[in-house]
């Protein structure tokens, strides 16, 4: 929605991108003028040629020994992973300060491995984000994988629900200003989402008497 607004009112070349401190630079974006990667106001991005970006779901299938399956499809979000090193990736987590500058300094390498490379049996980089893969190197991000509700056995990201609610803002007369979703314990479903909304100035959900 932010990208759509920006493309309509600021510049048609408003580009969404994804990166984190741990990445050291962008890993997903849209190359300006690339006809093979059309810029659309749907927050989807493409992996750079040197970034082996995928969406995985953990299976822990004892019979096959497989620890994951790669997923593609809007209704099948997975964990955002990078399956191979890239030029500007982080190499360690800060630590072992007394040895900085020594040729054998590696920082807190055990913490680095357990934080970013222990989610799957395969040593892939994992940062804790939810991704949807549409094929052809096209992805969208949907919040944190550790911010998930379990509703009747279905794992639903709070960011996904928030995005659905905030789509109403595309209407010029939408009363919704912002939204946050939290999970509340429920005897029937395990958890149920509660929405906390702020309204646009002067807006009301119910018509005035």
Could you give the CA distance from residue 208 to residue 178 in angstroms, rounded to a whole number? Answer: 21
End-to-end CA distance of the chain: 32
Q: How many CB atoms lie within 10 A of CB 40?
A: 13
**58 and 105 inside one domain:** yes
Structural domain tally of the chain? Answer: 2
Given 120, 145, 170, which residue is the final one in a domain?
145
Please report, for the domain that includes residue 49, its CATH number.
2.30.38.10
**38 and 80 inside one domain:** yes
Q: Domain range spanning residue 191? A: 147-209
Mean pLDDT is lowest, of 42-46, 52-56, 170-174, for 170-174
Given 145, 163, 193, which residue is the final one in a domain?
145
**37 and 85 inside one domain:** yes
**81 and 135 inside one domain:** yes
77 φ/ψ angles, rounded to the nearest 5 degrees = -70, 155
Q: What mean pLDDT do residues 114-132 have?
A: 87
The strand pairing partners of 154, in sequence order, are 151
Q: pTM value? A: 0.67
Measuring CA to CA, how many Å separate 116 from each of 57, 105, 110, 122? 16, 19, 10, 12
What is the pLDDT at residue 131? 87
The conformation of residue 32, written as its DSSP 8-state character, comes to T
Q: How many CB atoms lie within 10 A of CB 10?
A: 9
**92 and 53 inside one domain:** yes
Please report, for the domain that includes residue 166, its CATH number.
3.30.300.30
**162 and 124 inside one domain:** no
**177 and 193 inside one domain:** yes
**100 and 192 inside one domain:** no
**123 and 154 inside one domain:** no
Mean pLDDT is lowest, of 70-74, 82-86, 132-136, 146-150, for 70-74
Could you give the CA distance from residue 53 to residue 7 in angstroms, rounded to a whole number? Answer: 26
97-98-100-105 Cα dihedral, nearest 10 degrees: -90
Could you give the CA distance from residue 127 to residue 81 in angstroms, rounded to a whole number? Answer: 7
**Model confidence pLDDT, tens digit, residues 135-157:** 778 898 877 776 677 787 776 77
Q: Containing H/E element for 116?
A: helix 109-116
Could you give the CA distance from residue 43 to residue 29 in angstroms, rounded to a whole number? Answer: 9
Q: What average pLDDT does the structure give for the chain?
A: 81
**30 and 103 inside one domain:** yes
Given 129, 145, 161, which residue is the final one in a domain?
145
**Model confidence pLDDT, tens digit, residues 97-112:** 888 888 888 888 888 8
Q: How many CB atoms lie within 10 A of CB 88?
A: 12
**185 and 135 inside one domain:** no
**159 and 187 inside one domain:** yes
């Amino acid at each position: 929605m932010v990208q759509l607004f920006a493309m309509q009112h600021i510049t048609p070349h408003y580009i969404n991108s994804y990166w984190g401190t741990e990445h050291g630079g962008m890993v997903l974006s849209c190359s300006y003028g690339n006809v093979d990667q059309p810029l659309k106001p749907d927050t989807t991005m493409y992996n750079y040629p040197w970034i082996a970006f995928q969406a995985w779901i953990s299976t822990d299938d004892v019979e096959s020994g497989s620890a994951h399956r790669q997923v593609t499809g809007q209704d099948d979000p997975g964990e955002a992973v990078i399956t191979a090193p890239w030029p500007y990736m982080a190499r360690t987590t800060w630590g072992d300060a007394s040895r900085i500058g020594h040729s054998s300094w590696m920082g807190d390498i055990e913490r680095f491995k357990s934080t970013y490379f222990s989610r799957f049996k395969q040593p892939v980089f994992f940062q804790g984000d939810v991704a949807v893969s549409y094929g052809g190197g096209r992805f969208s991000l949907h919040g944190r994988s550790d911010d998930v509700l379990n509703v009747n056995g279905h794992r639903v990201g709070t960011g996904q629900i928030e995005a659905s609610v905030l789509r109403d803002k595309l209407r010029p007369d939408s009363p919704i200003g912002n939204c946050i979703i939290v999970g509340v314990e429920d005897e029937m479903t395990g958890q149920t989402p509660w929405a906390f909304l702020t309204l646009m100035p002067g807006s009301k959900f119910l018509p005035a008497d």
